Structure 1
Amino acid sequence: MVAVNDRSTLSCTAAAAGVLLAGGLEFAMQDGLQESGRGPLVTLVVLGTALAVGLVRRIPAASLGLVWLTAIGQAATATPFLLTQAAWAVIAFGLARWGDRAVLWASAASIVAGPVVAVVLIGNDLVWLDPPYASRNLFESTVDHLGLGWRIGAGLVFGVLLAMPWLGGLTLRISRRARIDLDRASRERARAEEVARMRAAQTRLARDVHDVVGHSLAVILAQAESGRYLPDDDPAALKSALATIATSARASLGDVREVLTATGDTTDDLDNLIDNLRAGGHEVVSGHDGTPRALPEPQRAAAYRVLQEMLTNAIRHGLRGGALTVRRIWSSDALQIEVRNGIEPAPGDRLSSPGSGSGLDGMRERLATVGGTLSTGVRGEVFVVTARIPLS
């Protein structure tokens, strides 16, 4: 977008330079202008027109104001209209293409009011010089062919000459807005699909954990309940019940670890998790400090799940179309994972407050199982989540 704006500004600057050159040539070639004694006024008209063309991209309101000031000044000083002022068509295009809503409506009103003012001035002999600079009779006879009378015909010609480029600019403005809306809808759809995919993976994980743990807990509960009815003088039976409980708990813990380190459609590698997100159309900037190393199984599972949740929250609550930044910092005793994302400017799209939300609570609980911590905060318009996972 910046490159497009720069090209548009350069084009307007080049057009302004062309207006200055055309105005100089017109003055030099028209004896009537030179003999009229209005050289300084004509120079101001050319400068005002060139400046209006040059500003139409960056400051459309100022460009529209300069056009009206130039026209009013010509009327007040009886300075003739110049052929160079055909550049007003460029300004009409730019006002409709780049002006804000107020400028757009003001330029539309000017398309209607401008011809009326011009016809009044023409009819009052305020804008013509003697031949050879201009032939009023020729212009009158031309517009008279419209069959609508001198002033109405002149107004229609002048209005059409301004309205056509204005409509062209308006058409490009509408088509660009349509493309922006289409791109935004496409990004929203891709983000919704990514969130749905990640949530589906979390749902499958929860179901697998429920299935694995449910059976083991049922066995443990049955053994614990039966231990209440064992005779006090039979320690062997009590030890057997406790051994069964320990075996069931150990098997359950192993099964849970296996589920946590293998999800069905994603790998347990942090780099692949980030790559999968990029493949889904999201911009992710990643990097790491320190020397990466293999994590123990519980820490590995916690790192994977926490990063997955951090990315999910960043997609859901982050700035639309903004990049996510993932940083992994390896130290001698811990792995620190930091995720940054821009915050939507609309208050309704922000997280309620730093550190709130069930997703963040879930991450804190998961990290607590391995002795880790989670911190959150807002730095300017960036939301930062940092997870610290001890390596021991």
Structure 2
Amino acid sequence: MSTADPTLPAWQRWAPDVSGGVATFALGVVEVRGNVYADDRAAAYVIVLAVALGVGLSRALPAAALGAAWFAGTVQVTSGAGAMLVEVLLAVVAFGCARWGSAATVWLSGLSMPLGVLIAVLWLDSDLVYRALELAGVRLLAETAYRGGDWRLPASLLIFALLATPWLLGLALRFLDRARRSRDSQVVAEAERDQAEEIARLREDQARLARDVHDVVGHSLAVILAQAESAQYLPDTDPDAHSEALRRTMANIATSARTSLQDVRQVLSSPDGAPPTDGRHGDLDALVEGVRASGHEVVSTEVGTPRPLPPELEVVAFRVLQEMLTNAIRHGRRDEPVLVERHWEGELRLEVRNVIGEQTAHEQETRPIATVDAAELAAQAGAGHGLEGMRRRLEAVGGRLDVRRRDEPGGATFTATAWVPFRSGR
């Protein structure tokens, strides 16, 4: 497996390998031509060619380079050719196999070294070893071989060291490169994870902002619409009273619009979308009074002693009641009161009940008495930001939501109940 840059032209990728092979062949030819002891020059040239081929292929094709090295050794043993100094360059093949070869090539090259050394010391006689060692300049071993001493063990160790040292170096570089790639992959994975978390956070912030803007604008527009519609039913028997009532209605509309604009600005500037508050539970009363001002009759009941809520729970209670009242205005009958209950016992329980308008009741007259599906309710209540938004707000703090439609003798009713714990469950 070559490490050359794949974007380079083929001749540039192969140039270092070809240069190494050509240089090895040239050195081998010079050695053969200058070696007076070479009896079989044809076999020597074949060996030189095989060694040069192995050196040239050691980076791009390590397995083929290993085969060329074994071919050179086979020719040398079968022909009886003497050992040559150029064969030291087989260390390049050992390095290439360990550095760039496949797992099988690494194992085969590792096993080849002791096997090759064993064959060398068994098949080569002392004269051939003496000539090779003399050419290599290893005088001490040469004299030992010449005198018939025990030269095989030191010669074996020398040959093995010449092959094993570059092989181990290649293996070490291989593992270092693998560790570096692993670190790079880990860095990339961590960067992708951080990016995904950032995207998720931005999407959550976007969803929160959409819910808050929906709650504020949806509620205000519902109140404004109800006030505008109520103007149609003002009595016109007394022109002065009619004009005064119309002025009050327009003033209420302007106040609602101004309050909505302030709330939107506050939502866009606040990191948590908190509503503007003057007291902890007084804002819930303000929501109820705002619906009354729109012309809807509201019957509000409060059970227990109001308790202060942490800021995050105060926001949840405010937004949930706001959405409940918005749905009551939007889908309820104007001639029927909206029932609002607040229970402060154990946990804050908010309940809003209203009679469904004629059109809505007609559309759902075949529906059985059951808990309404949250996804369908969300689609009916503002593109996924209405009742589904309430449910998500409550679940985030350990609360819960129940929405039911019931067919009763006086007409179909719609009841939304929310439980807000006094302490956040996050």
Normalised by the length of structure 2, the TM-score is 0.49
Once the two structures are TM-superposed, the CA of residue 14 in structure 1 deviates from its matched residue by 2.0
Residue 12, structure 1, aligned to residue 17, structure 2: yes
CA contact (8 A) 2:53 2:65 kept: yes
Residue aligned with 1:32, SS: coil
Aligned identity (percent) is 26
Does structure 1 residue 30 correspond to structure 2 residue 31? Answer: no
Cα shift at 1:199 = 2.2
1:205-233 deviation line (CA, Å, top 9, x unaligned):
21122112112223344567789999967
Matches within 5 A, 1:61-140: 61-123=63-125, 139=141
Instruction: Name the count of aligned residue pairs.
Output: 255
Q: Does the 8 A contact of 1:123 with 1:151 survive in 2?
A: no
Q: Aligned equivalents of 1:188 and 1:135: distance in 2? A: 54
Q: Which amino acid in structure 2 is aligned with residue 191 of structure 1?
A: E
Q: How far apart in 2 are the matches of 1:181 and 1:32?
A: 53
Q: 1:244 to 1:136 in 2, by over 3 A?
A: closer
What is the CA–CA distance in structure 2 between the aligned matches of 1:110 and 1:227, rounded to whole Å? 95
Unaligned runs of 5+ in 1: 265-364, 367-392
Secondary structure of 1:31's partner?
Answer: coil
Partner of 2:194: 193
Q: Offset of 1:57 from its aligned partner? A: 1.1
Distance in 2, matches of 1:95 and 1:161, equals: 15
Q: Is the 8 A contact 1:122 1:128 kept in 2?
A: no
Q: Distance in 1 between matches of 2:99 and 2:4?
A: 16
Report the Cα distance in structure 1 between the residues aligned to 2:106 and 2:31, rounded to whole angstroms. Answer: 31
After superposition, give the CA deviation of every residue in 1:16-61 in whole Å (9 maximum; x if it has no partner): 112111111111211221xx2x121111111111011101111111
CA distance in 2, matches of 1:68, 1:10: 24
User: For the residues of structure 1 that align with 2:114 and 2:176, how far apart are their CA atoms?
Assistant: 24
Mapped pair 1:39 → 2:44 = no
Q: Is the 8 A contact 2:98 2:171 kept in 1?
A: yes
C-alpha distance in 2, partners of 1:130/1:201?
74
Give the equivalent residue in structure 2 for 1:340: none
Once the two structures are superposed, the pairs formed by residues 283-322 of structure 1 within 5 Å of their partners are: none
Q: CA 1:71–1:128 in 2, change beyond 3 Å: closer, same or farther?
A: farther
Q: Which residue of 2 aligns with 1:161?
A: 162
Structure 2: 5+ residue stretches without partners: 237-241, 272-382, 385-426
SS in 2 for 1:109: helix
Alpha-carbon RMSD across the aligned residues, in angstroms, is: 4.5
